[in-house]
């Protein structure tokens, strides 16, 4: 069996990559993708923790959590993407540094 620390490392690196994407990218679409990446990093950790704690699947809270987060991510991305499409139609670009009209 793979040691849990490997899964931790994998989850952590995925999360940091996602975080970096959120902070560094200027394109809204890529930010959304990076957000998905961060969510998935968390989800992997949930499943691994669930498996690690009860090998006989007596406690499957983590996996239920995975399903929940998956649904949430799907609905979030649906709303988010439709906003992105509208935004693109309005401004013809997705640069968030310039999309700051709500400031002030």
Note whether 63 and 50 are within 8 A (CB). yes
| CB closer to other proteins out of 23 and 55 | 23
CB of 96: closest distance to other proteins in angstroms? 5
**Is residue 92 a contact point for other proteins (CB under 8 A)?**
no
> Distance of CA 81 to CAs 27, 37, 58, 64, 70, Å?
13, 15, 38, 26, 16
**Is residue 104 a contact point for other proteins (CB under 8 A)?**
yes
For other proteins, the binding residues in 20-49 under the rule CB under 8 A are 22-24, 26
């Amino acid at each position: 069996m793979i040691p849990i620390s490997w899964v931790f490392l994998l989850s952590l690196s995925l999360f940091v990559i996602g975080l970096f994407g959120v902070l560094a990218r200027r394109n809204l679409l890529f930010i959304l993708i990076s957000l998905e990446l961060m969510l998935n990093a968390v989800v992997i950790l949930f499943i691994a923790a669930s498996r690690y704690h009860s090998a006989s699947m007596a406690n499957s809270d983590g996996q239920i959590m995975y399903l929940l987060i998956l649904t949430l991510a799907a609905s979030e991305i649906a709303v988010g993407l439709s906003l992105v499409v509208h935004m693109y139609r309005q401004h013809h670009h997705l640069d968030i540094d310039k999309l700051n009209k709500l400031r002030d």
